[in-house]
């Protein structure tokens, strides 16, 4: 009789039995990924330990209608995992002398109201700008997709702020949409072209792109997003916010995310000073214990850094333990579950020592 994978995992975690040898960490990770297997919206899992991909595989389906299986090359919409790339692009432009993190946001986007004059790029990067969100300004029932200029127009027509710039933390998708526009103004090229030329191509992330529907290359090996409705998986790949770029528009695979992870350990892309800013405790998010912080595109607590990404039909997580040279990436094309806790659990299997972990 074949023992189900989760039952084997439970036995292994309890020390196994005479006839069942303990599972390896990779086998235990496979068991934890069981809900993604079969003819269901799937996921791709990457575990990098000491610079080597110890797990790189897909589970389930990238495209249910065409019965296309998920693989390590499957490209998922990264949603808010995009933000670490946007932050890196701003830091590269600062290194180039094309902008300063102390620049007023209005220097680059002068249509914003005078009340935004005190907001700096630094405060947009670490979510302390106080800018209002765009989500609540989308008309109920609207199916028209917003673009980045729509968000700029929305925010240019209001003096609303949640708080004085720099005084508090509040996560802002709108802020990162605006940062994408700043990158275009400062670089003199489109956001998608700048990311390709300065990040994706140098790191050989050959299948990663900022997707622009109808205005750029199509996504190869594309995963389509799904949501479960009354026990059935329904394709829910696009929403009114899915055409926005800076807050979540990158598509990538675990194959390419392994290259991104490697670049975060040295100065092949960003200088030591820029990485110190990205990974620095720019603002306290929660006092804990232990306290949690936000850097530029990264959440931080103790020795752990991570970010989740959620958009309609997609749930993703990247979790890094840099001191242990360990990274877990889970990309999925379904609305549930959010894989942050799953990535933490898989990371534990490969940890040398117990670590403080995000919750």
Tell me the whole-structure pTM to 2 decimals: 0.92
The CA distances from residue 9 to 20, 24, 33, 179, 249, in Å, are 10, 10, 11, 45, 36
Q: Would you write out the chain's pLDDT as a tens digit for each of its 359 residues?
A: 334 444 445 445 545 555 678 889 999 999 999 999 999 999 999 999 999 999 999 999 999 999 999 999 999 999 999 999 999 999 999 999 999 999 999 999 999 999 999 999 999 999 999 999 998 777 777 778 889 999 999 999 999 999 999 999 999 999 999 999 999 999 999 999 999 999 999 999 999 999 998 777 899 999 999 999 999 999 999 987 888 999 999 999 999 999 999 999 999 999 999 999 999 999 999 998 999 999 999 999 999 999 999 999 999 999 999 999 999 999 999 999 999 999 999 999 999 544 445 54
The predicted structure's pLDDT at residue 241: 83
Q: How far apart are CA 162 and CA 127, in angstroms?
A: 11
* pLDDT tens digits along 253-291: 999 999 999 999 999 999 999 999 999 999 999 998 999
Let me know: does 148 contact 181? Beta carbons within 8 Å. Answer: yes
All structural domains of the chain:
33-350 (3.40.710.10)
Positive or negative, the CA dihedral 285, 353, 327, 32 is negative
Residues facing 330 on adjacent strands: 45, 317
Q: How far apart are CA 228 and CA 14, in angstroms?
A: 33
The CA distances from residue 57 to 18, 52, 53, 305, 318, in Å, are 30, 14, 10, 23, 15
The predicted structure's pLDDT at residue 115: 94
Positive or negative, the CA dihedral 331, 205, 237, 130 is positive
Cis amide linkage into residue 94, ω under 30° from 0: no
Collect all residues with Cβ–Cβ distance below 8 Å to 63 and sequence separation of at least 6.
Answer: 222, 223, 224
Let me know: does 333 contact 223? Beta carbons within 8 Å. Answer: yes
Helix ranges restricted to H, the chain: 5-13, 25-32, 83-95, 105-108, 121-125, 148-156, 173-187, 191-195, 254-263, 272-278, 340-350
Closest CA to 206 of 73, 317, 79, 77: 73
């Amino acid at each position: 009789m074949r023992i189900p994978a989760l039952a084997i995992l439970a036995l292994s975690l309890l020390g196994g039995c005479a006839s069942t040898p303990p599972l390896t960490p990779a086998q235990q990770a496979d068991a934890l990924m069981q809900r993604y297997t079969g003819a269901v919206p799937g996921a791709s899992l990457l575990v990098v330990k000491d610079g080597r991909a110890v797990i790189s595989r897909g589970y389930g389906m990238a495209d249910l209608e065409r019965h296309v299986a998920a693989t390590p090359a499957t490209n998922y919409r990264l949603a808010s995992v995009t933000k670490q790339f946007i932050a890196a692009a701003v830091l590269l432009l600062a290194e180039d002398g094309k902008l300063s993190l102390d620049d007023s946001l209005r220097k680059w986007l002068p249509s914003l109201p005078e009340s935004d004059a005190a907001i700096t790029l630094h405060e947009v990067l670490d979510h302390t700008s106080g800018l209002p969100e765009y989500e609540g300004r989308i008309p109920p029932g609207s199916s028209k997709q917003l673009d980045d200029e729509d968000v700029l127009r929305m925010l240019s027509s209001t003096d609303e702020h949640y708080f004085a710039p720099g005084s508090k933390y509040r996560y802002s998708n709108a802020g990162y949409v605006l940062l994408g526009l700043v990158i275009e103004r400062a670089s003199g090229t489109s956001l998608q072209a700048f990311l390709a030329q300065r990040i994706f191509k140098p790191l050989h992330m050959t299948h990663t792109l900022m997707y622009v529907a109808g205005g750029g290359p199509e996504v190869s090996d594309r995963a389509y997003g799904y949501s479960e409705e009354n026990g059935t998986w329904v394709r829910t790949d696009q929403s009114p916010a899915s055409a926005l770029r800076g807050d979540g528009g990158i598509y990538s695979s675990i194959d390419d995310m392994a290259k991104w992870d490697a670049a975060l350990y040295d100065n092949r892309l960003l200088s030591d000073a820029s990485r110190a800013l990205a990974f620095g405790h720019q603002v306290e998010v929660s006092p804990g214990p232990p306290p949690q912080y936000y850097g530029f595109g990264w959440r931080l607590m103790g020795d752990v850094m991570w970010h989740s990404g959620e958009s309609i039909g997609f749930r993703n997580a990247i979790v890094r333990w840099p001191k242990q040279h360990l990274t877990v990436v889970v990309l999925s094309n379904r609305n549930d579950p959010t894989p942050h806790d799953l990535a933490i659990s898989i990371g534990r299997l490969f940890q040398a020592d117990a670590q403080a972990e995000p919750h």
